[in-house]
Amino acid sequence: QTEAPEFGKGLLNIVGKDSTWSMKLATRMQFLTSTTWDQNSNNKWVDPHSIALVRRARFKFDGFAYSPKLTYKIELGLSNRDMSGASEYTSNAPRYILDAVVMWNFYQNFELWIGQTKLPGNIDRVISSGNLQQVDRSLLNSRFTLDRETGLQIRHHFFLHNKFLIREKFAISQGEGRNVTNGNIGGAQFTGRLELLPFGEFTNGGEYKGGDLVHEEMPKLMLSATYDHNKDAVKTRSNQGTYMVNDIGFHKTDINTLFFDTMFKYRGFSFMGEYAHRNAKDPIAKNADGSLTGDIVQIGDGINLQSGYLFRKNWEVSGRYTNISLDEDITGNRPENQYTLGLSKYIVGHKLKIQTDLSYLSVNGGTDELMYRLQFDIHF
């Protein structure tokens, strides 16, 4: 049968005849306006650059098929920003499919995932873009994220002791990002992630949601680490960034990415912390004769610390500090510090909300930048 749930819980919940399958349909939109200013030599904010757009618009389908042990998820991106990134590597077609993955609970606490979906990477990325605490993810994410891949994942969890939950996630992927159609160019990518939840799962999966909207009665904590090895990677940010084309094809090198991250929530207070480190065997792309192509693997470190408190009537104030320290000798990029102050009004949780934030970006010896953003979210 077909059921229309309450606002924010999906458009339709369909259960097939004889309960042979189910599907939940959902959709969401984000409307963003943003203005940035550069700081000139007189410490004045100048050259405002503004933008207003449908930032994200998504359809999501999930449920089970044939057996409750066989579940699936499809997520489609409709906005121009969602679909951007068409290239010769994606058949010059828009990257419309975000997730298309089948998950099979083949044995006890083990799940096998097949298809395209997010890798078990840094927590800020794995949190859905509809459940963020601030308008958008941090600079750490844009520099270090592993985003989505096509391949296999094995996921397992068990209880170490009482409530102490441990999750293990492993992935083997192509290593060049999502929606690639021309095949694997470099080697494969291997990802492992370990999650420790000493006080058990957060309420309603809150370990992967921004802000403590449910006012956790008891302290909840997740400590996690991801290690990713991209063998013979051909892009400047492991499986992200640009292809390192050279005169004989591609510059290939092993790239490793490490994340430590944590989420803590208690009575409206939330804290999220991330540390990222990337290195590469040979970060400077070369042609066959050793001459440089100009591409550089973006190696270095990043820190992102974010915290918020949910006041009455679902107003939340949040702060974020992000430091990006790429290897200056290799990449030529100077250290950046960004400070963000955010304000959110959750009308119906993350499903209907208005978020605004102000960011100050300080670039060592470079041009500082101020950014103001206002975003409206609606999710069915």
Residues 102-121 that bind a copy of itself (CB under 8 A): 102, 114-116
Span from 65-73, 246-254, 273-281, 300-308 in contact with a copy of itself (CB under 8 A): 65-73
- How buried is 42 (Cβ within 10 angstroms: 0-12 exposed, 13-18 middle, 19+ buried)? exposed
| Residue 11 engages a copy of itself in binding (rule: CB under 8 A) | yes
Tell me if 352 sits within 8 A of 364, measured CB to CB.
Answer: no
- How buried is 1 (Cβ within 10 angstroms: 0-12 exposed, 13-18 middle, 19+ buried)? exposed
| Residue 96 engages a copy of itself in binding (rule: CB under 8 A) | yes
Euclidean distance between CA atoms 261 and 306, whole angstroms: 11
**C-beta of 12 vs 343, nearer to a copy of itself:** 12
Binding to a copy of itself in span 156-175, by CB under 8 A: 174
Cα first-last separation, the chain: 19
Residue among 15, 166, 303, 305 that touches a copy of itself (CB under 8 A): 15
**C-beta of 179 vs 240, nearer to a copy of itself:** 179
Minimum distance of a copy of itself from residue 152's CB (angstroms): 8
Span from 83-91, 189-197, 218-226, 360-368 in contact with a copy of itself (CB under 8 A): 83-91
| Residue 313 engages a copy of itself in binding (rule: CB under 8 A) | no
Residue among 45, 46, 52, 159 that touches a copy of itself (CB under 8 A): 52
Q: Return the number of other C-beta atoms located less than 10 Å from residue 347's C-beta.
A: 14
Binding-site residue total for a copy of itself (CB under 8 A)? 72
**C-beta of 229 vs 265, nearer to a copy of itself:** 229
Minimum distance of a copy of itself from residue 220's CB (angstroms): 28
**C-beta of 57 vs 263, nearer to a copy of itself:** 57
291-327 in b/e form (b: 16+ CB < 10 A) is eeeebbbbbbbbbbbbbbebeeebebebebebbbbbb
Minimum distance of a copy of itself from residue 3's CB (angstroms): 8
